[in-house]
Structure 1
Amino acid sequence: MTEKLVQELNDLELKILSLKKENSELKKINKYLENSLSIKEDKFIQKEKLYKEIEEQNRRLKVVNALSGSEEYKKVMKLQMNRLIKEMDICISDLKGF
């Protein structure tokens, strides 16, 4: 009976050591994945900023083309002006509420 108990304790100790090793490996993998995610998030933020800058440049270019008299962009300019007027109306009505 004592031998059986000793054997079970040895088996249990081996399982614990195995689980510790596996836990250590999983921690390393997790750390690697966290670092990888952080790098990808940074790249995504940079690309998102670049996209917004390009989008803003495109919008400005359309406005400049509309102001230069280009028929193609007159509608764009009209829509832009209407949007700005609506924003101003909202601001004015908000100020009147105070």
Structure 2
Amino acid sequence: MSELTEIIDSLEIKFSKLVQKLDNLEKTNQELRNDLLKSSNIIGKQSEEISTLKNQYETLKMANSLLGSDENKRETKLKINSLIREIDYCIAQLSD
């Protein structure tokens, strides 16, 4: 009977350790999920910021070309021509 009690005690101790490990792993898992969520939010904000900065860069590049810079002059002319075509199209639509 003594051996059976020892085995039961040993099993209880092992079970207790397993439960403790499970709790620790669940806590770690939740922390990792929170970190992942924070990182995803940061990535989203940074993507928006990159998009905004790209738009600002293109605007500055266009303004620089209009001010007489030789760089990107061709792109500026193409953009102006594209805008003129869009305006002409809108005028034609309004005329109908």
Match runs of 1:15-94 below 5 Å: 15-77=14-76
Kept after mapping to 2: 8 A contact 1:66/1:72:
yes
Distance 2:79 2:18 in 1: 63
Q: CA deviation at 1:56?
A: 0.9
RMSD after superposition: 2.4
Moved over 6 A (4+): 81-84
Q: CA deviation at 1:81?
A: 7.1
Asked which structure has the greater RCO (Cα within 8 Å, sep 6+), the reply is: 1
Q: Which runs of 5+ in 1 are unaligned?
A: 85-98
TM-score, scaled to structure 2? 0.70
- The one-letter amino acid paired with 1:73 is N
Q: Which runs of 5+ in 2 are unaligned?
A: 84-96
- The one-letter amino acid paired with 1:57 is Q
Distance 1:81 1:5 in 2: 91
- The one-letter amino acid paired with 1:39 is K
